[in-house]
Amino acid sequence: MRLQRALAEAGVASRRKAEDLILAGRVAVNGSVVDVLGTRVDPAQDRVTVDGRPVALRPERRIFLLHKPVGRVTTREDEEGRPTVMDLVPAVPGLHPVGRLDMMTSGLLILTNDGALTHALTHPSRGVTKHYRAVVDGVPDAQTLRRLSTGILLEDGLTAPCRVALSEHAAAGATVDLWLHEGRNRQVRRMLEAVGHPVRRLARLAIGPVRLGDLGTGCWREPQAGELEWLQRCTDGSQST
């Protein structure tokens, strides 16, 4: 990022005042005075001082939306040497997945280097809605759909109420959409298994208003303006999710 922006985000001064500091020769990068506006720095690697005093720079926030494929583990490193989602996105210091999708589940995954955003999207108190689509064995009847929506007793307790809809069905199976506010381990799979309709395929289609859309499997993109606005409101704690 530009040096004046980095100084402003670090709280040294406003961006205009930061420009004045640079032009006055009061700012050094890695020991060398910088007096040219537009100089770029890497907050994760460069050492910046103002009047000889170190400045703690904030890394530029990065957010990637990934269409996670089946067969990838959602972790930064895997002790068993399995392929991870980190191989599919640019290498950014501090980048990590927000929450998890199990190895056999595909769909939308957010990755960021912003710990505050991760906390906002994953803390149970925030109740961020996540939309899943499951292809299951058999066709759940109306009573089963009501059971899923009102709560299923699992080994770790009763699931919270959620929205459930039968999207498609045929003799051999059905497609079920679920909108959850919880994030328990393998929750969708366990809920459907508990009511006698084990999952064949599972994908996450959305997190809040952030949607997978037509993003190709294994591909990533950065959030659009409206999505960024929602993510920022989540981070600020002003978004009702």
Of 109, 31, 103, the closest CA to residue 66 belongs to: 109
- The catalytic residue among 35, 102, 141, 156 is 102
Q: Would you call 141 a catalytic residue per the annotation?
A: no
* Cα(90)–Cα(109) distance, integer angstroms: 14
The residue count of the chain comes to 241
Taking phi over 0 as left and psi of -120 to 50 as alpha, with beta for the rest, 6 belongs to: alpha
* Cα(108)–Cα(116) distance, integer angstroms: 20
Q: How many CB atoms lie within 10 A of CB 234?
A: 21
Provide the annotated active-site residues: 102
